[in-house]
């Protein structure tokens, strides 16, 4: 039995077909964790979809209504960069419910793990970059509204800047946002996070880990959040199709250890969401993101 639950739903797959975002990876990660003997079926819990009221804690009522009904303009779909379908819509509601459940479980188990989520490009009133609903922000606002936490910190290690996160929490002293990313990459416009660590193209393991530690460790010591939200993108990997950093499998494992060990040692509950991953070989993305679960479990042994 694992020391925490793995939150997963078969409906996480956005059913995109032949698309650079391999949303079937969520199912494949679950299958890998089972095949490796790391997890059993009893280690997985299934979330309920977020309610519309949950989503409106972050998003405009108009965006939620039109996304639910499928009445998006061509321009909005172009920004979203994925085709609309009812399974796609359902997947975002489930991702938000899953990250919220993982956050609640983290308060009990020290770590909560959503085998999905991390849709950090979504804004209150529109979607961008494969992200229609910002599940991480929804989870934070839901737990704040329920008075389970006061302060949260988002540590975004996806190769792409967390622009939606930065915009949603701008000027909010209760949420600290950190994004470490390749600067010369999507999105073109990068609203300021509380701490942005801009990396040049081709950064390798050692520099990445030093830069992350130099920013993250002082920030978490000063801010002392009640909850850490870790956006654990696999796309800093050197074989990623949409990234230009050069991290190895070992470097990504050390990244996960740095972020999560820091939280565990300070008794700060941590939530993992998986975000991007577009390796040329899909099995590499599956290896990286199933590896994040193994790192997390090892810290609680």
pLDDT at 150: 98
Distance separating alpha carbons of residues 179 and 184, to the nearest angstrom:
14
- Decide if 264 is inside a domain: yes
The Cα-based distances of 103 to 136, 139, 143, 149, 167 in angstroms read: 9, 7, 8, 10, 21
Identify the burial level of 178 via C-beta atoms within 10 angstroms of its C-beta, where 0-12 means exposed, 13-18 middle and 19 or more buried: buried
CA distance 55 to 146: 14
Q: What is the DSSP letter of 240?
A: B
pLDDT of residue 161: 98
- Domain membership of residue 1 (yes or no) is no
Residue 27, domain member (yes or no): yes
CATH number at residue 10: 3.40.800.20
* Domain assignment of residue 68, yes or no: yes
Report how many domains make up the chain: 1
Distance, CA of 191 to CA of 201 (rounded, Å): 20
Check residue 221 and give its pLDDT: 98
User: Does 77 fall in a domain?
Assistant: yes
d(CA 196, CA 178): 6
Tokens read off for 234: 């696999």
Domain limits at 230? 6-299
The whole-angstrom separation of Cα 22 and Cα 28 is 10
pLDDT at 301: 76
State the pLDDT at residue 51: 98
Residue 17: predicted pLDDT: 87
Mean pLDDT, each 10-residue run in order, the chain (301 residues): 97 93 96 98 98 98 97 95 96 98 98 98 98 98 98 98 98 98 97 98 98 98 98 98 98 98 98 97 98 98 76
Sign of CA dihedral 210, 215, 221, 227: negative
In a domain, 92, yes or no: yes
Give catalytic residues, as residue numbers: 121
């Amino acid at each position: 039995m694992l020391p925490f639950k793995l939150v997963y739903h078969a409906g996480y797959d956005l059913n995109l077909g032949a698309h650079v975002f391999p949303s079937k990876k969520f199912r494949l990660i679950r299958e890998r964790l089972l095949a490796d003997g790391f997890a059993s079926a009893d280690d997985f819990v299934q979330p309920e979809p977020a309610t519309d009221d949950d989503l409106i804690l972050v998003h405009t009522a108009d965006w939620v209504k039109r996304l639910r009904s499928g009445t998006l303009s061509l321009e909005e779909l172009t920004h979203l960069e994925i085709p609309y379908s009812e399974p796609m819509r359902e997947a975002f509601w489930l991702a938000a419910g899953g990250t919220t459940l993982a956050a609640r479980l983290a308060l009990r188990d020290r770590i909560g793990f959503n085998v999905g989520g991390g849709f950090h490009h979504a804004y209150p009133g529109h979607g961008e970059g494969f992200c229609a609903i910002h599940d991480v922000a929804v989870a934070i606002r839901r737990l704040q509204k329920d008075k389970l936490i006061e302060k949260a910190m988002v540590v975004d290690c996806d190769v792409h800047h967390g622009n939606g996160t930065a915009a949603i929490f701008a000027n909010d002293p209760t949420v600290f946002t950190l994004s470490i990313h390749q600067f010369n990459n999507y999105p073109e416009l990068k609203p300021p996070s509380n701490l942005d660590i801009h990396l040049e193209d081709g950064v390798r393991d050692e520099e990445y880990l030093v830069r992350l530690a130099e920013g993250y460790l002082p920030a978490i010591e000063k801010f002392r959040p009640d909850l850490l939200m870790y956006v654990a993108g696999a796309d800093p990997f050197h074989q990623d199709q949409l990234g230009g950093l050069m991290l190895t499998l070992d470097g990504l494992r050390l990244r996960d250890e740095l972020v999560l060990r820091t939280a565990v040692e300070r008794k700060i509950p941590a939530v993992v969401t998986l975000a991007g991953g577009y390796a040329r070989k899909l099995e590499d993305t599956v290896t990286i993101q199933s590896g994040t679960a193994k790192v997390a479990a090892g810290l609680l042994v």
